[in-house]
C-alpha cells in the first residue's frame, strides 16, 4: 500500500475521531448567517473584516 | 498565486471543508462582537462527547445566556479596553512583544505569495488573530483560488498559527473579564490541539 495514501487516511480518521467533523457540521450552521467570506469570492479576511474599535486601538499601540 | 490552477483539483474532502468552517467560526467570533443573529447561530451549535464537541456545546450553552450587550462589553474589555484591553490579539505582539514587527512582514509576504490580498475596506493589520484565521479558512476551502495542498497548509500553519495562537487561546480561556470569550477560547485551544496532531501526520 502506498505509504502516502496511508498517511492521508490516518490523518482523515484522526480528525474524524477527534470530533472535528461532527463539530464542523454544527459550525456550518453557525456561520451560515454570518458575514463570512464565501468560497469563490476571492477576498481574504476582508468581507467580514471591517474597521472597528480594535483597529483604532492598534494604531494607538503602534505609535 | 491567486491564479492557482483550478482545473484538475479534487473536490474538497469532507474533513477539510469542516476544518475550514471551524476556522471561520473562530474568525467570525473574534473579528467583532456578535450580533443577535450570531449569538442565535452559536446557540444552535452542538457537539458530541469528544473534547471539541464538549467545548462547542459549552460555547453554545453560554451563547444562549449571553445578551448582545454583555458580549459587546466583554469584547471591548478584552481587546480594546481603556487604551489597552486585557489581550493584544496580534501575532507580532505575541511573538515579539511589539506590534508590526517581523512576523507581520513575513505574514504579509506569505499572503501575497498565496494570492491573498487585504481588502481596501480595512486598514487592519493582517496579523490580527481573526484575519489570520479567516485567511487560513479561505486557503483551506479554496476561497482564494484552488484549495491549498496539505503540505503548504502545514507550512503556513506552523509559521503563522501554531507559533502563537495556542498561547492566545489559553490566554482567552483564562481572561478575567470573559465568560463568552473564554468558552470560545476553549473551542480554539481544543481545535488547534487536533490540528497540531493532524499536521504531524502530513
The Cα–Cα gap between B128 and B91 comes to: 7
B145: left (phi over 0), alpha (psi -120 to 50) or beta: left
Q: Contacts of residue B121 in chain A, CB cutoff 8 Å?
A: 46, 49-51
Helix (H, G, I), strand (E, B) or coil at B151: helix
Q: Give the minimum alpha-carbon distance from A37 to chain B in angstroms, rounded to a whole number.
A: 8
Contact B201 A7 (CB under 8 A): yes
The tens digit of pLDDT for each residue in B25-62 reads 999 899 889 999 999 989 988 888 889 989 999 999 99
The tens digit of pLDDT for each residue in B62-85 reads 999 999 999 999 999 999 876 678
Q: Identify which of B123, B134, B194 has the shortest CB distance to residue A48.
A: B134
Predicted ipTM of the assembly: 0.74
CA end-to-end span of chain B, whole Å?
Answer: 22
Interface of B with A in 91-150 (CB under 8 A): 99-100, 111, 115-126, 128, 130-132, 134-135, 137-138, 141-145, 150
The tens digit of pLDDT for each residue in B101-137 reads 999 999 999 998 988 887 766 667 899 999 999 899 9
The answer to whether the predicted template modeling score (pTM) of the entire model surpasses 0.90 is: no
Q: Identify which of A21, A48, A58 has the shortest CB distance to residue B18.
A: A21
Question: In degrees, to the nearest 5, what angle opens at C-alpha B185 toward C-alphas B179 and B189?
Answer: 150
Amino acid at each position: 500500500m502506498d505509504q502516502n495514501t496511508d498517511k492521508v487516511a490516518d490523518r482523515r480518521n484522526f480528525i474524524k475521531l477527534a470530533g472535528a467533523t461532527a463539530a464542523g457540521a454544527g459550525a456550518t450552521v453557525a456561520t451560515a448567517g454570518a458575514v463570512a467570506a464565501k468560497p469563490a469570492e476571492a477576498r481574504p479576511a476582508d468581507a467580514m473584516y471591517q474597521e472597528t474599535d480594535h483597529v483604532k486601538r492598534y494604531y494607538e499601540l503602534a505609535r | 498565486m491567486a491564479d492557482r490552477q483550478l482545473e484538475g483539483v479534487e473536490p474538497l474532502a469532507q474533513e477539510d471543508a469542516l476544518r475550514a468552517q471551524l476556522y471561520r467560526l473562530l474568525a467570525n467570533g473574534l473579528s467583532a462582537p456578535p450580533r443577535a443573529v450570531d449569538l442565535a447561530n452559536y446557540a444552535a451549535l452542538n457537539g458530541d462527547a469528544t473534547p471539541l464537541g464538549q467545548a462547542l456545546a459549552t460555547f453554545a450553552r453560554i451563547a444562549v445566556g449571553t445578551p448582545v450587550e454583555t458580549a459587546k462589553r466583554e469584547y471591548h474589555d478584552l481587546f480594546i479596553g481603556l487604551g489597552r484591553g486585557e489581550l493584544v490579539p496580534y501575532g507580532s505582539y505575541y511573538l515579539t512583544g511589539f506590534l508590526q514587527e517581523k512576523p507581520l512582514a513575513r505574514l504579509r509576504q506569505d499572503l501575497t505569495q498565496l494570492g491573498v490580498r487585504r481588502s481596501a475596506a480595512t486598514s487592519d493589520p493582517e496579523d490580527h488573530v481573526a484575519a489570520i484565521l479567516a485567511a487560513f479558512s479561505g486557503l483551506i476551502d479554496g476561497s482564494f483560488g484552488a484549495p491549498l495542498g496539505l503540505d503548504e497548509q502545514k507550512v503556513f500553519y506552523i509559521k503563522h498559527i501554531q507559533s502563537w495562537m495556542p498561547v492566545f487561546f489559553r490566554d482567552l480561556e483564562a481572561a478575567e473579564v470573559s465568560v463568552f470569550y473564554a468558552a470560545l477560547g476553549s473551542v480554539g485551544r481544543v481545535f488547534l490541539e487536533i490540528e497540531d496532531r493532524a499536521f504531524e501526520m502530513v
